[in-house]
Structure 1
Amino acid sequence: MSRQFVTEAVMLAIYGELLLTPVPVEYMVPYTSLLELYDFISSDEPLMSNPEDDQHVKEKVRELIDYLEEPLNKKKIQKALNMPWAKSSYILIGETTRVTVVNAMDTAPYGEFFDPVETELLLVSQREQVPLLTDQPELIHRIIDASVPVHVFDIDDFQFAVESGPFSHHV
């Protein structure tokens, strides 16, 4: 049984440890999060404060895009886009990791506190009863402040989250 997390696609490019796990892990990624990868590549805005780190991360984002655009992976993703809330077949992305793309639909229940991608992350987490993994402390604080019923982990606690096993559904 693999550990499951909901996360943004860019986290898979930024944090290499997400792909090198001691146990099988599945990441559920909203489709709109994949689309953000293209924005990151084409933007002049840095993802990282250090220019060398920024260049490295952008290369990793490009590698992830290229991998997801390979014909079999692209076909899996496209198939999931035919219906709201459909999930792609899993895409292997390492020896112990896989990605499932979710055609999440932002129904705006959290519009005052969260942007559309954040809302989709929360909705996938709720719908699938899978914890959310993020590197944004301010997002964690907003989740708590809004009393959103999801379990959330900071990237710094990833190793603990992987080793902990099943989770309760609430923050």
Structure 2
Amino acid sequence: MGDYKNFHTVRGYEIIEKEKKTLTHSMEDYLEMIYRISLESESVRVNALSEALNVQPPSVTKMVQKLTKLGFVNYVKYGAIFLTEKGEKMGKFLLDRHNIIEKFFRTLGLEKDVLFNIELMEHNITKDALIKIDILNNFFRDNPDIERGFHEYKKSIKNLE
């Protein structure tokens, strides 16, 4: 039999990773969206964040207060939300991570439920796996003939759909 000493259930891996992380999945989503909005607007308001994330304003306020305590944002009640340097760095990473995974799925030809699948994957992927996916994305971008060959191959096999 194989070496199973390092094997864990999905929940086991989640627990191990959770112990290493400062941010919850929800905190990551909020921070990523604050960063996205800040790229388009000078300030981020609770109502804009509420609308973008499809959550109620009181939920946004609670989360922003938590992110303030962790040093990712500056926020005063009824005021604008501003990223700190730490928050901007993390927000950029989170958006880049999202975009890398989205590009990967689109390259594979996944069109249905793309955002849902990104959300499932982005919060649990390791940095090393993300780097490898980014390399593969860049490989396909730099070798369009190989990407076309991949899509032709994909059409020639029977899908498990």
Higher strand share: 1
For the pair shown, which has the larger CA radius of gyration, 1 or 2?
A: 2
Q: Relative CO higher for 1 or 2, CA cutoff 8 Å, sep ≥ 6?
A: 1
Task: Normalising by structure 2, report the TM-score.
Answer: 0.30
**With structure 1 as the length reference, what TM-score do the two structures score?**
0.29
The structure that is helix-richer by fraction is 2
